[in-house]
Structure 1
Amino acid sequence: MIGMISCSSSEVETSPKQEDNQEEQPLPLTATTLTDVAYGQHPQQKYDLYLPADRSSSRTKVLVLVHGGGWIEGDKSSMTPFIDLIKERHPDHAIVNMNYVLATPVPVVPAFPNQFLDIDRVVEKLVAEKEALQILPEFGMIGTSAGAHLSLMYDFVYDEGDRIKFVVDIVGPTDFTHPFFSEDPNFELALSLFVDESQYPTGTDYAKATSPVFQVNPQSSPVALFYGDQDPLVPLDNGVALDSALTANGIPHDFTIYSGGHGDDWGEADILDLQEKISGFIREYLLVD
């Protein structure tokens, strides 16, 4: 930002009206991209920030992208198609494309609640820097697979300030008590490695505590759900269960089922439909006036 500059009274004698006319107005802000911005000490706690031209702290709302990868792999680079879509259709929005600390078995680095809290760190940093960045801290979240699960959990449980205005859930797991997960021979071991039990009360049912379908409440944000009817990684029943929970709590939502699996084999018409519905959610729940 360029500060207001006026002539010194010791150099030129002017009237107040003349001084006002001589003041320089701030130049319009240009589009800016900041890559690998740190929001913590871990090397994976980084995000890319895309700031639009002519932004302001009174109108420039923010879209947060959260990648998938089974909580143990993946990278923000996989969300590039969503960046391109937003820039084309919603050029007045800021975009945050974030990484989070991936879970590992050796040494043990749990996913939950660490990854939920990583989202919170990003949101809180952006809120604290809203004037410097010239953004309005109202957020929409777009998550794929594990990233959709994290986005839903963040909104349903951790967004105490109601800063999230909608969530796009693309093939996100929502119910770890479903037999698809719970009857897997490795499920209990995976759960013990994924959950930091010290961060939950004694006696917690960790499968339920980390399942978005059991966390839906009347304050939850609107959700756009997209699932495949032959998904080998996340059963369609998880989408159906979340649809029912949102309906029971009176949460506006849209549930779309495509023919195919985990999104990578959806047809061109389905991808175009998904893009249009995401744009519709942005226009309805995160409109930049």
Structure 2
Amino acid sequence: MKQMLLIYISFGILFLNTSCSSENDNNTNNKPLVEETRLNVAYGSNPKQKYDLYLPAARSEEKTKVIVLIHGGGWTGGDKIDMDYIIPTLKLNHPNHAIVNMNYVLADLQTPAFPNQFMDVERVIDKITDEKNDLQIQPEFALIGASAGAHISLMYDAVYDAGDQVKMVANIVGPTDFTDPFYANNPNFDYLLSALVDESAYPSGTDYAVAVSPVLQISGTTSPTLLFYGNADPLVPLTNGDRLNIALNNAGIDHNFSVYEGGHGDNWSQADYTDLQNQITTYINTYLAVENPD
């Protein structure tokens, strides 16, 4: 059944295709903290509710902000390991930031995707916030999502980030508007979307295509957003990027919309990938800046 969902929906196939030492002191000796990695940190009871945490050296509550990576996979597949490739680049470009690479509970017939996957982001952010003293971080966040992970990132920022802790979002080929004819004209769409939605979590009569479309949730509180799309994407139409671009313009949100030659991120040029990385670096340095890094 999960395979049928992926085949018919054809939304978000991810293109970006041990335990570790722990120092839990609060730097009481005023010694600079060393770089630390904590793998498979549990943030819930489900085996998928785990994240990897990369803490930089010399971190502190005054300066160390957090970059969160959210993988794709059509909401029913994928794993945080799919985002591992970007971590060395982020460490190089942002050596004073912490990095979280998170899993979330994948959808199946017993566990719908929405809003559960949005709430998993909230659980991660809440846990890290609660542990800010131990971790020596400042709980402000950038979300970088790919495909389904970009959709989750956009929805969390637009609807669930009540404390305004998210300061920017990088949306890489994320579905944004399920009222788009690309989806809505599929005769199986309503059934397939309902299979991804926990109907008990929404009021009776909710139009789910509207409720889980980030483009229809944009407001003046939406975070600065980067948009990256392919002009020949068979899974997420360019019109989804166009519609989000218009909504962000109308709301007066700082953003940048990039369209690359190719499909779902899997055959873009090296120059395009470099441009994507450079834009993310610029936005992190602008909206998640480290104050007094030395």
Give me the TM-score of the superposition, normalised by structure 2: 0.89
Q: Work out which of the residue numbers 230, 233, 245 in structure 1 matches 2:232.
A: 230
Could you tell me which residue of structure 2 aligns to residue 19 of structure 1? none
Equivalent of residue 251 in structure 2, options 249, 266, 276: 249
Q: Distance in 2 between matches of 1:207 and 1:229?
A: 23
Q: Determine the structure 2 residue equivalent to 1:112.
A: 114
2:106 to 79, 102, 111: 102
* 1:191 paired residue number: 193
2:55 equivalent to 1:33: no
Q: Identify the residue that residue 11 of structure 1 maps to in structure 2.
A: none
**Structure 2: runs of 5+ lacking an equivalent:** 1-24
Q: Which residue does the alignment assign to 2:203?
A: 201
Q: Of the candidates 70, 87, 95, which is equivalent to residue 83 of structure 1?
A: 87
Query: Residues of 2 paired with 1:2 and 1:116: CA distance?
Result: 31
Q: Distance in 2 between matches of 1:141 and 1:28?
A: 27
Tell me if the contact between 2:166 and 2:223 (Cα under 8 Å) persists in the aligned partners.
yes
Aligned to 1:92: 96
Q: Secondary structure at the match of 2:163?
A: coil
Structure showing greater radius of gyration is 1
State the 1:2 CA deviation: 6.8
Question: C-alpha displacement at 1:196, in angstroms?
Answer: 0.4
SS at match of 1:80: helix
Report how many aligned residue pairs link the two structures. 267
The runs of at least 4 consecutive aligned structure 1 residues that moved more than 2 Å come to 1-4
Q: Name 1:56's counterpart in structure 2.
A: 60
Instruction: Look up the match of 1:286.
Output: 288
Local SS of the residue matching 1:221: coil
**What's the counterpart of residue 20 of structure 1?**
none
Aligned counterparts of 2:156 and 2:261: Cα–Cα separation in 1: 28
| CA displacement 1:95-122 (0-9 Å, x = unmatched) | 00000000013xx210000000000000
Deviation at 1:3, TM superposition (A): 7.1
* 1:35-78 alpha-carbon deviations (Å, 9 max, x no partner): 00000000000000000000001100000000000000000011
Task: Tell me if the contact between 1:116 and 1:153 (Cα under 8 Å) persists in the aligned partners.
Answer: yes
Secondary structure of the structure 2 residue equivalent to 1:28: coil
TM-score normalized with structure 1 length: 0.91
Rounded to whole Å, the distance in 2 between the matches of 1:218 and 1:285 is 16
1:9 is aligned to none
Residue type of the partner of 1:122? V
Percent of paired sites with the same residue: 58
Which of the residues 169, 172, 175 maps onto 1:170?
A: 172
Aligned to 2:15: none
**Cα distance between partner residues in 1 of 2:94 and 2:26:** 27
Displacement of 1:183 in angstroms is 1.6
Structure 1: state its 5+ residue gaps. 5-24
User: Which amino acid in structure 1 is aligned with residue 130 of structure 2?
Assistant: A
Q: In the alignment, residue 240 of structure 1 is paired with which amino acid? A: D
User: How has the CA–CA distance of structure 1 residues 2 and 48 changed in structure 2, closer, same or farther, with 3 Å as cutoff?
Assistant: closer
SS in 1 for 2:170: strand
Instruction: Check the 8 A contact 1:2/1:27 in 2, yes or no.
Output: no
Query: How far apart are the structure 2 equivalents of 1:195 and 1:92?
Result: 38
Deviation at 1:26, TM superposition (A): 2.3
CA distance in 2, matches of 1:70, 1:181: 14
Structure 1 counterpart of 2:182: 180
Which structure has more relative contact order (CA 8 Å, sep 6+)? It is 2
Output the CA distance in 2 between the equivalents of 1:52 and 1:3: 14
Aligned-pair distance for 1:81?
A: 2.1
How much has 1:186 moved relative to structure 2?
2.4
Aligned mate of 2:123, from 108, 121, 124: 121
CA distance in 1, matches of 2:118, 2:50: 15
